[in-house]
Structure 1
Amino acid sequence: MSTADGSEGVGRLSTLDRLLPVWIGLAMVAGLLLGRWVPGIGDVLSAVEVDGISLPIAVGLLVMMYPVLAKVRCDRLDTVTSDRRMLAASLVLNWVLGPALMFALAWLLLPDLPEYRTGLVIVGLARCIAMVVIWNDLACGDREAAAVLVALNSVFQVVAFAVLGWFYLEALPAWLGLEQAALDVSAWQIARSVLVFLGVPLLLGWLSRTWGERIRGREWYETAFLPRVGPWALVGLLFTIVVLFAVQGEQVTSRPLDVARIALPLLVYFALMWGGGFLLGRALSMTYERTTTLAFTAAGNNFELAIAVAIATFGVTSGQALAGVVGPLIEVPVLVGLVYVSLALRERLFPRQSPIPSVEENVR
């Protein structure tokens, strides 16, 4: 196991650390090939659902998120909720700048592709409440801050998603003389996504720490229990990626030019949102951990909700659904890369802070 510190940096990460993008890339390729070469696997995986929630993807996300949320120290959450600068910055980035930026990029780069444009707007409205916790953890961000910010995003998602969908797809285009689209989504559909992909693992993580510390003590919980369950986060991540890409593999591989057109605004979006979040955190004199958390929660999106809404409103073979599918196809490798960018920037911008744990140590 590597023990990277401020003098070693990302240049001396362990083999697992250095190859993490490779494992994720292989999982993406495996999923795409399964969806392309195994007849009917996408339909089978899509059919295994409960009340509209894809069961395989739900299982993968729960397995991925539980070990990370089990590490959260609930007794430290008050230090996050009292940080009004960070909470306000997160709300502005996620619910003001994020949707507006995606709207602008969609219209600027896809003016002739209305279905893909609408799909990207939906992706911009679905703020991340799931996979962002593992990117944040791998980048050595503040776990407690991540838990609070994704919970805050979940509340705003239930309250504001449908309203912002109406604004960016109907009202604002009408005011600007642009083509309009309609979004049919219920508050329950959004709340269900929040409950499954955030509520369940958050509750399990809280119960684990509460009961574990009460029965065996904090030292046992953090030195014996967490190292045992930690590696399952990576297992859950890779499983989720394989399943997600297998479900949509045929659609993605059969339309490469369309995927490339959709990918361009997504690449610009993720780079600007993450970079803007990191610079804002730095400007507000936040610690590295909270700056990183602010950046990743601003850049990530709730792909499961975006895909579900696009399919429910426009159909499984629609361009809007394809745009939702391409979202994680681009988001996963980009945010993995930004994990390493974060660790490199820590050495340069936050040199006086504590040594950097390796990605492997965080997974464990």
Structure 2
Amino acid sequence: MKKSNAKLSNLDRYLPVWIGVAMVAGLLLGRAVPSLSDALASLEVAGISVPIGIGLLVMMYPVLAKVRYSRVASIAGDKRLLVSSLVLNWIVGPAFMFALAWIFLPDLPEFRTGLILVGLARCIAMVIIWNDLACGDREAATLLIALNSVFQILAFSLLGYFYLTVLPQWLGLDSQGLDISMGKIAINVLVFLGVPLAAGYLSRVFGEKARGVDWYENTFLPRVGPWALYGLLFTITLLFALQGEAITNRPFDVVRIALPLLVYFAAMWLTGMVVGKLLGMTYERTATLAFTAAGNNFELAIAIAIATFGATSGQALAGVVGPLIEVPVLVGLVYVSLWSAKFWSTNAADASGVSGDEERANEGAHV
């Protein structure tokens, strides 16, 4: 593992600054042009915001174009990684968010429900950025994201019913229903994972075939790589423009929602790192496990909150506050992850016997 030589590009190095600028710009834009929120909300197809969808697709494509798909099949044999990821994402994560929502927001049912929705929506988009910046295993991240996508289609509605209706009734708490079809979730997954995944795979296959591996790795990828962060910043700006007025008009509510989210993201990341270390995984796969456990699919949570409870609901506001907290926290955890790499043995080998970071040692930039 060559963490000592890993360096962020100039674009990546100042990522917290660019993200802060994008967040402030979005908030100011939403306040300055109140009609912008309605205009953006009207640009939807099948319940999916077209502008935000474009931003997410631009964000995901460059990273998925970098994936060495020939390695993915070998990673599927790493039972430690797959099982621990499923447990953290579909048992620990939703249960932990449910507990935090009731502990921090017992008197605010709308915000509480919004937080529970965030906990159920496992990340399939932005996590790929955090994982790459932290020098995680790119191929393992692709596999885990695909696995979570399948579970998201099958389990989201059932878990939503369980955590919003069944479990509260068992515990003698207030309950609130959720009516969302598997079809809507499947469309969300198809757009935000299926399209960029197919584009990335086809780019590698035809790019290497037409121009060779050297051209693809050393010419094509460095050219498209920065677009991942451009897409990220564009998406963040739009998200905060959509709810800029609500966020600035209700700062105390935002703080109430932010506290359990801060605990959630930090605790889930730390749990993933500890589990990976205890199971003897390499740093790369441990970082991947941690970030896939900590990240959440804010687009899905917001879309479902709006479709079920309305665009101006407390549930929708809680969903929007999700990326407000997730983005800076996970950016900070990227740097903590890189620092923590020194605690992993340089001789550790993953299940395939090849370190993803070593394979990427000659790449010019991580994103």
TM range (shorter): over 0.9
How far off its partner does 1:186 sit? Answer: 0.5
Residue 44, structure 1, aligned to residue 39, structure 2? yes
Aligned to 2:221: 226
Aligned to 1:339: 334
Matches for 1:149-164 after TM superposition, within 5 Å: 149-164=144-159
Paired residue secondary structure (1:362): coil
Residue 117, structure 1, aligned to residue 117, structure 2? no
How far off its partner does 1:15 sit? Answer: 4.8
In structure 1, runs of 5+ residues without a counterpart are none
Aligned to 1:313: 308
Report the CA distance shift for 1:188/1:9 in structure 2 as closer, same or farther (over 3 A): closer
Contact 2:222 2:364 in 1 (8 A): no
For 2:62 and 2:5, the matched residues in 1 are separated by 27
How far off its partner does 1:9 sit? Answer: 7.3
For 2:241 and 2:81, the matched residues in 1 are separated by 37
For 2:211 and 2:174, the matched residues in 1 are separated by 61
| Number of aligned residues | 357
Output the amino acid matched with 2:366: N
For 1:14 and 1:206, the matched residues in 2 are separated by 24
- What does the per-residue CA deviation read over 1:174-198, in whole Å, with 9 as the maximum and x for residues that have no partner? 0000000000100111001000000
Output the amino acid matched with 2:77: S
Contact 1:273 1:295 in 2 (8 A): yes
How far off its partner does 1:87 sit? Answer: 0.3
For 1:362 and 1:17, the matched residues in 2 are separated by 8
Aligned to 1:141: 136
How far off its partner does 1:52 sit? Answer: 1.2
Contact 2:9 2:366 in 1 (8 A): no
- RMSD over aligned CA atoms reads 1.8
Aligned to 1:362: 366
Aligned to 2:279: 284
Report the CA distance shift for 1:184/1:358 in structure 2 as closer, same or farther (over 3 A): farther
Aligned to 1:188: 183
Matches for 1:231-250 after TM superposition, within 5 Å: 231-250=226-245
How far off its partner does 1:16 sit? Answer: 3.8
For 1:255 and 1:193, the matched residues in 2 are separated by 29
Residue 252, structure 1, aligned to residue 247, structure 2? yes
Output the amino acid matched with 1:179: D
How far off its partner does 1:49 sit? Answer: 1.5
- TM-score of the superposed pair, with normalisation by structure 1: 0.94
Sequence identity percentage: 68
In structure 2, runs of 5+ residues without a counterpart are 349-356
Matches for 1:36-185 after TM superposition, within 5 Å: 36-185=31-180
For 1:150 and 1:101, the matched residues in 2 are separated by 20
How far off its partner does 1:248 sit? Answer: 1.1
For 2:92 and 2:366, the matched residues in 1 are separated by 30
For 1:76 and 1:360, the matched residues in 2 are separated by 21
Contact 2:218 2:363 in 1 (8 A): no
For 2:363 and 2:313, the matched residues in 1 are separated by 38
- What does the per-residue CA deviation read over 1:332-361, in whole Å, with 9 as the maximum and x for residues that have no partner? 111111111110101233455778969971
Residue 324, structure 1, aligned to residue 319, structure 2? yes
Contact 1:9 1:347 in 2 (8 A): no
Report the CA distance shift for 1:66/1:327 in structure 2 as closer, same or farther (over 3 A): same
Contact 2:225 2:365 in 1 (8 A): no
- TM-score of the superposed pair, with normalisation by structure 2: 0.94
For 1:352 and 1:29, the matched residues in 2 are separated by 44
For 1:60 and 1:341, the matched residues in 2 are separated by 27
Report the CA distance shift for 1:335/1:251 in structure 2 as closer, same or farther (over 3 A): same
For 2:310 and 2:205, the matched residues in 1 are separated by 43
Aligned to 1:270: 265
Output the amino acid matched with 1:326: V
Report the CA distance shift for 1:359/1:78 in structure 2 as closer, same or farther (over 3 A): closer
For 2:51 and 2:113, the matched residues in 1 are separated by 27
